[in-house]
């Protein structure tokens, strides 16, 4: 196994697995403590660790790292969000620290850049399009508001290890310069560097400098550059890419992301299909809300796809959090959408699109799915995959902040058998 991936949310795991599959690797994705399958070039473990308490996140990483290393992984890859989603407590720093201990790596880099999705790092500062992340809508994220753009500071607040910078002028000089800069930082007692990257070429340079390290970390876009290098080194044989999953049966969207993009997608879908908006600030009891939402959705399924969403604008999120607390609001939304997923599948839905990383994790776990087959990556936000058990399902697990405005309807249609 060339790469053992650990992703801190499910949409990130699907994106990573999809990019490796697009690079011609045989890839499996498992959730949590599900067994690591054999005969794969890469296995990605999806954990719900992004906003878990630090000790819980580290325990999950320890079990995943031991399982992947035990199965023979040459390199571990820690996949986090391209917008470096985390809080001052973690969990990027604490989980990276754990992986450094487990792999014995003396040094690693952090490369969240994802140019195709307009996420770029320059002088350690993270940009979303032309805005610093702290000026972008990410500052309103319900769980991981990003208010500090300097990732050296963000990471340093989460770890006792020393953090430096691998600046773009060095990356632009190529892999040998990157390797020299990394050695200089390591000899000066630093363990980590935030790596600048603005283009695919920059990421390819970082990949060429790190392809044989025991541990690398970043967005999925860094990992996408490893397969051609491994092939060139004679380590990777070509594999047949799997087609995207299709299924008969009804289609439905469950949207728990509160991002601007998801709310635009919901509004677009509402122009053509029924949408139920649930206001968490007015929720009576979760059980009553679930009954009511299922009563609304199930009779409509026969006539075409439906969407159920808890998404609100920043004011609605603030109102829900004032009433239920930050975690309480998230838990309520996730339990509700997870319960609805079970009801929809029991009523014959076989094509599901879920918007939001945490939301996707909650829905897939509520459905009792432990393993996914991931289709090759197509474009940002569109995570096509399939589950065989407990029901054969075609799924699109969408990163909440990405993907075209009309994708709910078009992707569900493309998933039809
Ligand atoms: N109205 C709401 N108020 C507060 N939190 C919400 C609301 N609706 C959903 N949530 C929670 O917000 C979080 C959104 O995160 P996620 O699903 O990862 O979306 P994204 O991919 O945009 O980050 C989820 O935990 C979800 O349960
Ligand atoms: O790196 C990315 O942007 C995605 O893979 C990802 O992790 C997005 O997270 P969510 O927006 O929470 O789905």
pLDDT digits (tens, 9 = 90+) for 290-306: 999 999 999 999 999 99
Residue 158's nearest CA partner among 192, 196, 119, 123 is 192
Q: In this structure, are 409 and 262 located in the same domain?
A: yes
Which residue's C-alpha comes closest to atom 5 of ligand 2? 12
Q: In this structure, are 88 and 174 located in the same domain?
A: yes
Which atom of ligand 1 lies nearest, measured to the CA of 279?
A: 1
Residue 260 has φ and ψ, to the nearest 5°, of -55, -45
Q: In this structure, are 218 and 346 located in the same domain?
A: no
- Burial status of residue 247 (CB atoms within 10 A of its CB: 0-12, 13-18, 19 or more): buried
Residue 330's nearest CA partner among 263, 379, 283 is 283
Ligand nearest to the CA of 356: 1
CA 79 to centroid of ligand 1, rounded, Å? 20
Q: Provide, rounded to the nearest whole percent, the portion of the chain with pLDDT above 90.
A: 94
CA 305 to centroid of ligand 2, rounded, Å? 25
Q: Does residue 156 lie within any of the structural domains?
A: yes
Residue 170's nearest CA partner among 182, 188, 153 is 182
Full residue range of the structural domain in which residue 101 is found? 3-232
Band of the pLDDT at 139, cuts 50, 70, 90?
A: very high
Q: In this structure, are 255 and 115 located in the same domain?
A: no
What gap in Å lies between CA 185 and CA 164, rounded to an integer? 7
* CATH code, domain with 275: 3.40.980.20
Q: Does residue 287 lie within any of the structural domains?
A: yes
* Confidence at residue 363, expressed as pLDDT on a 0 to 100 scale: 98
Long-range contacts of 340-346 (CB under 8 A, 24+ apart): 340/254, 340/290, 340/293, 340/294, 340/297, 340/308, 341/254, 341/366, 341/367, 342/366, 342/367, 343/290, 343/294, 343/297, 343/298, 344/250, 344/252, 344/254, 344/294, 344/297, 344/298, 344/301, 345/391, 345/393
Which tokens is 147 given?
A: 């208010």
Band of the pLDDT at 286, cuts 50, 70, 90?
A: confident
Ligand nearest to the CA of 14: 2
Angle at 126 between CA 114 and CA 400, to 5 degrees: 55
Single pTM value for the model: 0.96
Q: Quick one: average pLDDT of 280-291? A: 91
Residue 93, ligand 1, Cβ within 6 A: no
Q: Does residue 349 lie within any of the structural domains?
A: yes
The alpha-helical segments, DSSP class H, found in 71-187 are: 92-103, 151-156, 168-171, 175-187
All residues at 6 or more sequence positions from 127 whose CB lies less than 8 Å from its CB, including other chains: 118, 119, 120, 121, 133, 149
Residue 219, ligand 2, Cβ within 6 A: yes
Q: In what order do the strands lie in the sheet with 119-122?
A: 119-122, 125-128, 131-132
What gap in Å lies between CA 287 and CA 294, rounded to an integer? 11
CA 333 to centroid of ligand 1, rounded, Å? 7
Which residue's C-alpha comes closest to atom 16 of ligand 1? 356
Which residue's C-alpha comes closest to atom 25 of ligand 1? 330
Residue 312, ligand 1, Cβ within 6 A: yes
Q: In this structure, are 387 and 341 located in the same domain?
A: yes
Residue-wise pLDDT tens digits, 225-237: 999 999 999 999 9
Residue 119, ligand 1, Cβ within 6 A: no
Residue 9's nearest CA partner among 87, 86, 72 is 86
* Confidence at residue 284, expressed as pLDDT on a 0 to 100 scale: 84
Residue 8, ligand 2, Cβ within 6 A: no
Q: Does residue 240 lie within any of the structural domains?
A: no
CA 358 to centroid of ligand 2, rounded, Å? 9
Probe residue for ligand 2, chosen from 82, 126, 144 as the CB with the greatest number of ligand atoms within 8 Å: 82
Give the residue from 185, 205, 232 where a domain finishes. 232
Q: Does residue 17 lie within any of the structural domains?
A: yes
Residue 142, ligand 1, Cβ within 6 A: yes
Which atom of ligand 2 lies nearest, measured to the CA of 8?
A: 7
* Confidence at residue 243, expressed as pLDDT on a 0 to 100 scale: 74
Q: In this structure, are 39 and 178 located in the same domain?
A: yes
Number of structural domains the chain divides into: 2
DSSP 34: P
Q: Does residue 79 lie within any of the structural domains?
A: yes
Ligand nearest to the CA of 118: 2
Q: Are residues 227 and 20 in contact, defined by beta-carbon separation less than 8 angstroms?
A: yes
Give the residue from 202, 232, 262 where a domain finishes. 232
What gap in Å lies between CA 320 and CA 277, rounded to an integer? 14
Residue 305, ligand 2, Cβ within 6 A: no
Q: Quick one: average pLDDT of 103-124? A: 98
Q: In this structure, are 196 and 64 located in the same domain?
A: yes
Which atom of ligand 1 lies nearest, measured to the CA of 320?
A: 3
Q: In this structure, are 169 and 307 located in the same domain?
A: no
* CATH code, domain with 32: 3.40.50.10840
Q: Are residues 48 and 54 in contact, defined by beta-carbon separation less than 8 angstroms?
A: no
Q: In this structure, are 186 and 75 located in the same domain?
A: yes
- The number of residues making up the chain comes to 417
CA 143 to centroid of ligand 2, rounded, Å? 13
Q: In this structure, are 219 and 332 located in the same domain?
A: no
Which tokens is 109 given?
A: 């880099």
All residues at 6 or more sequence positions from 112 whose CB lies less than 8 Å from its CB, including other chains: 80, 81, 82, 83, 84, 119, 121, 126, 151, 218, 219
Q: In this structure, are 128 and 14 located in the same domain?
A: yes
Q: Does residue 243 lie within any of the structural domains?
A: no
The yes-or-no verdict on residue 240 having pLDDT over 90 is no
Ligand nearest to the CA of 11: 2
CA distances from 163 to 61, 147, 156, 166, 177 (A): 21, 19, 6, 10, 19
Handedness of CA 58, 62, 65, 68 (dihedral sign): negative
Q: In this structure, are 154 and 19 located in the same domain?
A: yes
Which residue's C-alpha comes closest to atom 11 of ligand 1? 330
Q: Does residue 241 lie within any of the structural domains?
A: no
Q: Please state, rounded to an integer, the average pLDDT across all residues of the chain.
A: 96
């Amino acid at each position: 196994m060339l790469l053992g991936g650990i992703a801190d949310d499910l949409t990130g795991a699907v994106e990573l697995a999809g990019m490796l599959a697009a690079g011609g690797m045989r890839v499996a994705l498992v959730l949590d403590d599900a067994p690591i399958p054999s005969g794969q070039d890469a296995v990605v473990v999806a954990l719900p660790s992004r906003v878990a308490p630090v000790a819980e996140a580290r325990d999950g990483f320890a079990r995943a790292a031991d399982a992947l290393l035990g199965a023979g992984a040459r390199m571990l890859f820690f996949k986090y969000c391209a917008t470096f989603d985390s809080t001052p407590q973690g969990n990027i720093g604490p989980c990276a620290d754990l992986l450094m201990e487990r792999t014995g790596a003396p040094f690693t880099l952090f490369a969240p850049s994802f140019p195709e999705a307009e996420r770029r790092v320059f002088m350690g500062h993270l940009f979303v399009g032309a805005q610093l992340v702290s000026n972008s809508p990410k500052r309103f994220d319900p769980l991981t508001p990003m208010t500090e753009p300097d990732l050296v500071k963000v990471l340093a607040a989460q770890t006792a290890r020393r953090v430096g910078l691998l600046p773009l002028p060095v990356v632009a000089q190529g892999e040998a310069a990157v390797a020299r800069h990394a050695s200089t930082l390591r000899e000066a007692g630093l363990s980590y560097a935030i790596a600048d990257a603005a283009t695919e070429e920059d990421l390819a340079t970082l990949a060429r400098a790190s392809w044989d390290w025991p541990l690398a970390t970043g967005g999925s876009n860094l990992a996408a550059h490893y397969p051609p290098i491994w092939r060139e080194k004679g380590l990777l044989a070509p594999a047949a890419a799997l087609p995207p999953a299709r299924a008969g049966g009804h289609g439905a969207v469950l949207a728990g992301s509160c991002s601007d993009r998801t709310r635009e997608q919901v509004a677009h879908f509402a122009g053509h299909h029924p949408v139920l908006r649930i206001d968490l600030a007015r929720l009576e009891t979760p059980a009553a809300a679930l009954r009511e939402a299922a009563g609304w959705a199930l009779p409509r399924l026969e006539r075409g796809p439906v969407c159920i969403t808890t998404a609100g604008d920043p004011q609605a999120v603030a109102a829900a959090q004032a009433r239920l607390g930050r975690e309480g609001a998230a838990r309520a939304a996730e339990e509700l959408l997870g319960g609805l997923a079970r009801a929809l599948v029991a009523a014959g839905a076989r094509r599901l699109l879920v918007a939001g990383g945490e939301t996707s994790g909650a829905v897939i776990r509520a459905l009792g799915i432990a393993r996914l087959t991931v289709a090759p990556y197509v474009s940002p936000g569109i995570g096509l995959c399939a589950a065989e058990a407990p029901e054969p399902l075609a799924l699109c697990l969408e990163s909440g902040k990405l993907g075209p405005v009309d994708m709910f309807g078009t992707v569900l249609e493309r998933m039809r058998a």
